[in-house]
């Protein structure tokens, strides 16, 4: 099969300002499936910031996972293992992956496969699993966001951010967001946020603004150390800070006195490295609670653009430069296209 080949040799954690290694669209061995697996013929995958980190050697795949990039995909079931029920060859499906999505085919634990919402094209479905499951897990399972509560979503213009805004609004929460630039803030409000704060404007103090509103009950944070102090100030008594990214660094001092006095909770979370049983349980809950929202038209994947998979380096550059609102989807080229450099 063809795939975006992993960098070879692997990059041992390259500096942030160094050029990433080239990514090549070429031949790769066919994946081997077990009795509980499904082979998915990939129609489309999508770009996540974790892919950019993995290319630079900062986020290696979990043990046993494919070294190929790609944490989500949508396509058609090609083969099913002997122990699989509920999926049949030819059925459209979308998958949450620990790796392997940037390829023509991928092996998926059948429990990590989801039906495609009715009426949704596969190129759109490819933008759902990673970001919507991440947003749902961290807002509601870990953040315990309840109807009527207030939530601040950092990175509101990103894949997880656009999913989180919609899910929080659908739950009946009052949503605030941060984003880079006035236009991105406007688009966050169009998705349902009550207000959005431009993090590029040094005069904007989201923590003070949130305190003027009485504080927020949940902060969903992708920045880490850079925003820790302000995030804690933004929380109401009993508030929950859920950290899902470290774009602003991993080490910071914390005022434990404030944490104790205001009864605050700080939670860290990742999705990719969870074990297969844990992911299966999460996806079963997601299917019950969230997939009906797609069917009802209350949430949708926000797609900035669709590019051919061999143009992955263009897609990664767009995301790295902050030029994407929502998701970039990568469509797998038709069969018969020869291997080529992804430039």
> What HEC string does 285-300 produce?
HHHHHCHHHHHCCCCC
Per-residue model confidence (pLDDT) at position 334: 86
Degrees, nearest 5: CA angle 324-327-330: 110
Mean pLDDT of 271-278: 96
Tally the residues of the chain: 343
pLDDT tens digits, 179-235: 999 999 999 999 999 999 999 998 999 999 999 999 999 999 999 999 999 999 999
pLDDT tens digits, 28-81: 999 999 999 999 999 999 999 999 999 999 899 999 999 999 999 999 999 999
CA atoms of 99 and 97, how far apart (whole Å): 5
Q: How far is CA 28 from the centre of its chain?
A: 26
pLDDT tens digits, 105-150: 999 999 999 999 999 999 999 999 999 999 999 999 999 999 999 9
Q: Distances from the Cα of 171 to the Cαs of 141, 239, 250, in angstroms?
A: 13, 18, 31
* Nearest by Cα to 223 from 155, 283, 159, 175: 155
CA atoms of 6 and 55, how far apart (whole Å): 8
Mean pLDDT of 92-98: 98
DSSP string for residues in 264-291: -EEEE--STTS-HHHHHHHHHHHHHHTH
Superfamily of chain region 2-128+301-341: Medium-chain alcohol dehydrogenases, catalytic domain (3.90.180.10)
Per-residue model confidence (pLDDT) at position 21: 86
* Nearest by Cα to 178 from 205, 139, 217, 140: 205
CATH 3.30.1490.20 fits 131-268, yes or no: no
Domain ranges of the chain: 2-128+301-341, 131-268
Long-range contacts of 21-25 (CB under 8 A, 24+ apart): 21/55, 22/313, 22/341, 22/342, 22/343, 23/55, 23/69, 23/312, 23/313, 23/316, 23/342, 24/339, 24/340, 24/341, 24/342, 25/309, 25/310, 25/312, 25/333, 25/339, 25/340, 25/341, 25/342
CA atoms of 145 and 140, how far apart (whole Å): 5
Longest CA pairwise span in the chain (Å): 64
Per-residue model confidence (pLDDT) at position 7: 78
Per-residue model confidence (pLDDT) at position 137: 98
Per-residue model confidence (pLDDT) at position 341: 42
Pick from 11-20, 222-231, 307-316, 326-335: least confident = 11-20
Residue 308, token pair as written in the block: 């051919």
pLDDT tens digits, 232-254: 999 999 999 999 999 999 999 99
Residue 153, token pair as written in the block: 């979503």
Per-residue model confidence (pLDDT) at position 15: 61
Per-residue model confidence (pLDDT) at position 17: 62
* Nearest by Cα to 271 from 244, 304, 240: 244
């Amino acid at each position: 099969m063809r795939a975006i080949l992993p960098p070879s040799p692997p990059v041992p954690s390259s500096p942030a300002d160094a050029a990433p290694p080239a990514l090549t669209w070429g031949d790769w061995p066919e994946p081997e499936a077990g009795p509980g697996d499904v082979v998915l013929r990939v129609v489309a995958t999508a770009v996540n910031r974790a892919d950019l980190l993995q290319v630079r050697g900062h986020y290696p795949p979990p043990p046993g996972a494919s070294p190929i990039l790609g944490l989500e995909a949508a396509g058609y079931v090609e083969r099913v293992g002997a122990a699989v029920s509920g999926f049949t060859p030819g059925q459209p499906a979308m998958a949450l992956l620990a790796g392997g999505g940037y390829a023509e085919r991928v092996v998926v634990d059948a429990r990590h496969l989801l039906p495609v919402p009715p009426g949704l094209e596969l190129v759109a479905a490819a933008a759902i699993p990673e970001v919507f499951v991440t947003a749902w897990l961290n807002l509601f399972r870990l953040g315990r966001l309840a109807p009527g509560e207030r939530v601040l979503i950092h990175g509101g213009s990103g894949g997880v951010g656009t999913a989180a805004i919609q899910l929080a609004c659908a739950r009946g929460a009052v949503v605030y967001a941060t984003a880079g630039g006035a236009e991105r803030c406007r688009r966050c409000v169009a998705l349902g946020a009550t207000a959005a704060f431009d993090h590029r404007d040094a005069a904007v103090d989201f923590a003070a603004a949130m305190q003027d509103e009485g504080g927020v009950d949940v902060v969903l944070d992708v920045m880490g150390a850079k925003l820790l102090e302000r995030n804690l100030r933004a929380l109401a008594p009993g508030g929950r800070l859920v950290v899902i990214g470290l774009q602003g660094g991993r080490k910071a001092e914390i005022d434990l006195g404030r944490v104790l006095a205001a009864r605050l909770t700080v939670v860290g979370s990742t999705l990719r490295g969870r074990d297969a049983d844990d992911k299966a349980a999460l996806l079963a809950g997601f299917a019950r609670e969230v997939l009906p929202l797609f069917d009802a038209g209350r949430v949708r994947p926000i797609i900035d653009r669709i590019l051919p998979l061999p143009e992955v380096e263009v897609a990664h550059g767009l995301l790295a430069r902050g030029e994407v609102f929502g998701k970039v989807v990568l469509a797998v080229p038709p069969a018969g296209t020869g291997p080529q450099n992804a430039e």
